[in-house]
Chain A
């Protein structure tokens, strides 16, 4: 990259299923205070702000009008990225790379618990003329994709159940993961079928939390304690049409990853990246994404739990417990993954720490029914 960009501070509130004690503004203010303290900056020094938000998830249109106060961004440039928070981080990093900015803040939060009719909100992402009239709970789209993926990659329901059980069990070690639980693959396989092959335990549950990330140019970052450098980043959208999309492969992850690897000079991701925090919604997504990320060859991600996992990928992929363990947080989902990777690179993850983690990858999927994914590669040394 022609201008190095680093994360110099990251603040958050602990993800929880419900947060009636704070408003979204108060939650974001707490995260912002924490981020600015870590970065040792005042919001007055910040030149531009990015918020990752979707109006329909907030219940307020033109939502970024409501974000300046709680970020200390009054009378500053502010814009919305209506996509995952990693897309927001990339938008901010690109501003720094122009050379016109040194310090930019990205905000993303989830008040998923405040959406009373989430399935209806989700349905609004479908084509209104030819898809919505079918009037089915739109989570069936995950069922369509899981079946096609399993057939194509010769992955079994047992393989997917292993992912779900593994991630939920690991989440139990993560203080930031409210859905951690010791669950066996057998329990996953016997949980209620909802959108077959999707079962109840495949479904990510939602969390509320706020994240504030401070990004800086090298000029500023080199003076800070433990900056985490962005060494590669990209995002991509495939064609959204349900009738004609490729159900077997996450092409958007594949293309975004290829570009990010090229920027970071990574040729063998499984060997060169120490920790991966990636989207594992519905279980099968983790396998599909690992293949798109070229950590495994196509159809081989299911081998992650086989004996002789010499590369210890079952430990290095989603040590946080993933989205299944932490919770789905709409636009903030990817920001939690960035937080987990940054904490790993700083050696702050306690029981879930991957030893000597130097390079990490965070990948996010924008959720049903999208075919948009974002990838960012982080290093604790430039």
Chain B
């Protein structure tokens, strides 16, 4: 209770009260649209994906090859030295098995997001994608996997140009 004399009292509400408009509320559907400039690093990366290539960048000072690429090294704070084309294979660094959708509906086939350390990149550097063509129970850390690409004609310079990674 506020000292001004206005009483703030509570009333328990049921979902029915909202459905029947016994309580006042306003709804709002956001119209928030963005078109992000991908810049040099992401621009090259996406162009590479369209061509069926995985591109990383190399810092000779830190002796690191990173993917996704960046044009500057966040550790020694200078420009990266060169672009490096990497293989489309790697190993599973970590994964999760998702049995529900983002709005908590049960999935018939679980989704398996994983971080895949790409062959040729430095230890721990890889890309986040999905695993498929695999029994979720068989997925292990360190498992060797390979990218499954969309047909060339369907690629559009997107991370989805890779459909998923599958065991090899």
Contact = CB atoms under 8 A, between A and B. Distances in A.
A116 B36 CA distance: 9
A62 interface: no
Interface string A29-66: 10011001000001110000000000010010000000
A36 B78 CA distance: 12
A26 B40 contact: yes
A69 B34 CA distance: 22
B75 interface: yes
Interface residues of A, number: 36
Interface stretch (B49-57, B66-74, B145-153): B66-74
Interface in A107-147: 111, 113-117, 120-121, 124, 128-129, 132-133
Q: Which of A32, A72, A74, A128 has the largest number of chain B CB atoms within 10 A? A: A72
B34 A116 contact: yes
B31 A23 contact: no
A133 B32 CA distance: 17
Nearest to B37: A20
Nearest to B25: A129
B77 A43 contact: yes
B31 A117 contact: yes
Contacts, number: 77
- The prevalent SS among residues of B at the interface is loop
B35 interface: yes
Nearest to A36: B77
B40 A42 contact: no
26 contacts: A20-B37, A21-B40, A22-B37, A22-B40, A23-B39, A23-B40, A23-B41, A24-B39, A25-B41, A26-B71, A29-B71, A29-B72, A33-B77, A68-B74, A69-B70, A69-B72, A69-B74, A70-B72, A111-B37, A114-B35, A114-B37, A115-B33, A116-B34, A120-B32, A120-B33, A128-B26
